[in-house]
Structure 1
Amino acid sequence: MADAQAASSDHEHFSSIPWCSAHLKRPGIIMGTPACRSPKANGEDSLMAETLTQTKTIVAFLEFYEEPPSPTDRVDLIKAFLTLGSGLNGHADVCHGGIVSTILDEITGLLIPINQQRGFMPEIPYFTAYLNTTFLRPVPTCTTILAQAKIIKVEGRKYFAEGWIEDSDRTILARAEVLYVAVKSAL
């Protein structure tokens, strides 16, 4: 998870929103700003860490999940709150579909570093092999959404997940099926 100051600021932001606060107050919740929000020297994550951190894009982003019973158990479900600004509009007050797909790619991808840190997945890069997005309803901007992802299965170098975006009423707005593939080691 990214730097403590950003995590604290994002936590304060979402704690001030009643429906978000209810999720964050549950016992056993681990939360923080996703690592993708921290700029890296090699340019990795620059889309989420730089381009989409403006006051009109993704204003705040906080990931959270329940602590598994054992430190070596896999984290199979992660959630994240995102507050979306008008700079993401495709239509008036509606998030651009490409950004919706980007959010779904990011939320499902967040399960990888968490599980790598816990020793469940190898510390090698994973890349999106496919992302099939279904748009069910418009994703509004100038509001906060809940994005969730869960691992469906892991087969060797393949990691299958699904993600979805909900509004404050728990209405699912968009969903995605995703396949990540780990990079083969050099021969």
Structure 2
Amino acid sequence: MADTPVPSSDYEHFASIPWCAEHLRGPRVIMGPPACRSPKANGEDSLLAETLKSQTTILAMLEFYEEPPSPTDRVDSIKTFFTLGSGLNGFPDVCHGGIVSTILDEVTGLLIPINQQRGFMPEIPHMTAYLNITFLRPVKTSATILAQAKITKVDGRKYFAEGWIEEADGTILARAEVLYVALRSAL
């Protein structure tokens, strides 16, 4: 799947942006639209699949990561591009802090279903137990950003992660420390 164009308008969108295209190259890059961008019959993921999926909110979103050496290895990090529209403004041309928090929560959480599919994490729901955001600089709207996340620790039902949002030049705009907990029973 590496270096193979993904049949997606989101892929085409980001591949046409030179700094984004650089990140999408490589022999072991796996990419595609995140599952959270597809509506589910039970209403799951409706925030990013419906409410924040428009020309004025989150125009495009694409996740990608490097394939681990072994199919049984955990995917410890992920990158996700977002193109943000002015419908997310808190101030003129600046993304609302609640949306910045949502992006960081979502990107760090993307590691869970990927690792569930690979058999590393149990197929049970996980919920955000802790999300601590540090805002460093404004996240601009009508712009494309890169959000990254990595698992920092696994302790039983607890999955610790950190995430950050960058501009094209690598300037970090916001950081997050996150704790997800696997539920003991269904919601």
TM-score range, shorter chain: over 0.9
Gaps of 5+ in 1: 1-5
CA, structure 1 residues 125+84, in 2 after alignment: closer, same or farther (shift >3 Å)?
same
2:83 match: secondary structure: strand
In structure 1, distance between residues paired with 2:160 and 2:15? 31
**Structure 2 match to 1:8:** 8
Q: Report % sequence identity.
A: 80
Within a 5 Å distance, the mapping from 1:15-164 to structure 2 comes to: 15-164=15-164
Aligned residues: 181
Q: Please, what TM-score do these two structures have when normalized by structure 1?
A: 0.95
In structure 2, distance between residues paired with 1:27 and 1:61? 21
RMSD: 1.0
1:53 match: secondary structure: coil
Deviation at 1:8, TM superposition (A): 1.2
Q: Deviations over 1:9-54 (max 9, x none)?
A: 1000000000000010122100000000000000000000000001
2:8 match: secondary structure: helix
**Structure 2 match to 1:3:** none
List 4+ stretches of structure 1 deviating above 2 A. none
The answer on whether the counterparts of 1:149 and 1:161 sit within 8 Å (CA) in structure 2 is yes
The answer on whether the counterparts of 1:7 and 1:62 sit within 8 Å (CA) in structure 2 is no
In structure 2, distance between residues paired with 1:175 and 1:51? 24
Deviation at 1:185, TM superposition (A): 3.8
In structure 2, distance between residues paired with 1:48 and 1:134? 22
**Structure 2 match to 1:176:** 176
2:52 match: secondary structure: helix
Gaps of 5+ in 2: 1-5
Q: Please, what TM-score do these two structures have when normalized by structure 2?
A: 0.95
In structure 2, distance between residues paired with 1:128 and 1:185? 15
